[in-house]
């Protein structure tokens, strides 16, 4: 029996030419062909207001597109998050998306003071990050700071685990390398991992 997989395409540019969109599509097609149920969230096509106060985060009402994303994430057993590294971190629109979606009452217990307040236990995740620099430079020299922040401060804090990473460096170096990574994402999609 297949998994229920939610794909979060976090590239903020809706242009179909973006490599992150192609990676998400490759994963989705292979997962569906292997019998997994697949739902997609395209952040570039979602209305994502920026939060401006702690009160809005803890007590505000999410807009319809954010509620839809929460419903998709609640349904899923496995999350796949795909985004480009911009200025050493995830794009601002994707960060705003996570701030809106992973609110108290949905991702973490409301008002609970705990080191493990997560409400999304039982879900796993894979994070796929594309970048111009070699992935090893991001991991060793920059210590993958923004990736660790997403893992630890958002996903694990919400109860999600295990979390796996796929870092795709040098995306602008060659067409062959890009095709190779599309095939790897198809393999991951087929396996549901």
Assign residue 131 the CATH number of its domain.
3.40.50.360
Residue 142 has pLDDT above 90, yes or no: no
How many domains in the chain? 1
Structure confidence at residue 183 (pLDDT): 97
Q: What digits encode the pLDDT tens for the residues 33-54?
A: 999 999 999 999 999 999 999 9
DSSP readout, 43-57?
GGGS--PPP--HHHH
Instruction: With beta carbons less than 8 A apart as the criterion, state whether 26 and 184 touch.
Output: no
CA 15/CA 12 separation, integer angstroms: 9
Domain containing 33: what range? 4-191
Structure confidence at residue 174 (pLDDT): 86
Share of the chain above pLDDT 70, in %: 97
Average pLDDT value for the chain: 93
Structure confidence at residue 114 (pLDDT): 61
Q: What digits encode the pLDDT tens for the residues 64-93?
A: 999 999 999 999 999 999 999 999 999 999
What DSSP designation does 187 have? H
CA 147/CA 17 separation, integer angstroms: 24
Residue 134 has pLDDT above 90, yes or no: no
């Amino acid at each position: 029996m297949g998994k229920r997989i939610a794909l979060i395409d976090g590239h903020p540019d809706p242009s179909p030419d973006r490599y992150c969109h192609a990676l998400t599509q490759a994963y989705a097609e292979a997962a569906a062909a292997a019998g997994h149920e697949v739902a997609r969230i395209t952040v570039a096509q979602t209305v994502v207001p920026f939060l401006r106060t702690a009160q809005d985060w803890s007590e505000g009402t999410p807009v319809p597109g954010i509620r839809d994303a929460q419903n998709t994430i609640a349904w899923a057993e496995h999350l796949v998050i795909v985004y480009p590294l911009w200025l050493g971190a995830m794009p601002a629109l994707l960060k705003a998306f996570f701030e809106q979606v992973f609110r108290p009452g949905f991702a973490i217990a409301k008002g609970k003071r705990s080191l493990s307040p997560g409400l999304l236990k039982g879900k796993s995740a894979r994070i796929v990050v594309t970048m111009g620099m070699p992935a090893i430079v991001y991991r060793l020299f920059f210590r993958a700071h923004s990736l660790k922040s997403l893992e630890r401060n958002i996903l694990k804090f919400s109860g999600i685990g295990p979390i796996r990473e796929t870092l795709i460096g040098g995306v602008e170096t060659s067409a062959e390398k890009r095709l190779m990574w599309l095939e790897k994402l198809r393999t991951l999609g087929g396996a549901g991992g």
